[in-house]
């Protein structure tokens, strides 16, 4: 059961390289900006709250364009 769930989660990132790279880039970028204290924690959190759904929507739109 857990192997199946893990395989599905890994498959989500392997199937769509854009999604995986964009998420990792966003998280690392905000993490670095927080680490060097360029941005406030609230701004970093807001960046994740806005950025992650935006990446997901962009990934869905890209997939839909590929299908059609």
Closest CA to 39 of 29, 49, 24, 51: 29
* Confidence band of 59 (pLDDT split at 50, 70, 90): confident
> What tens digit of pLDDT does each residue of 23-47 get?
999 999 999 999 999 999 999 999 9
Q: What is the pLDDT of residue 12?
A: 66
Mean pLDDT value of segment 40-65: 93
pTM of the model: 0.74
Task: For the chain, give the mean pLDDT.
Answer: 88
The number of domains in the chain is 1
Enclosing domain of residue 56: 2-67
């Amino acid at each position: 059961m857990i192997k199946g769930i893990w395989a599905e989660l890994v498959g989500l990132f392997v199937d769509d390289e854009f999604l995986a790279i964009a998420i990792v880039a966003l998280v690392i970028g905000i993490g670095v900006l927080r680490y060097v204290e360029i941005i406030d924690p609230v701004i970093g959190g807001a960046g994740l709250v806005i950025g992650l759904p935006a990446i997901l929507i962009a990934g869905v739109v890209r997939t839909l364009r590929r299908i059609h």
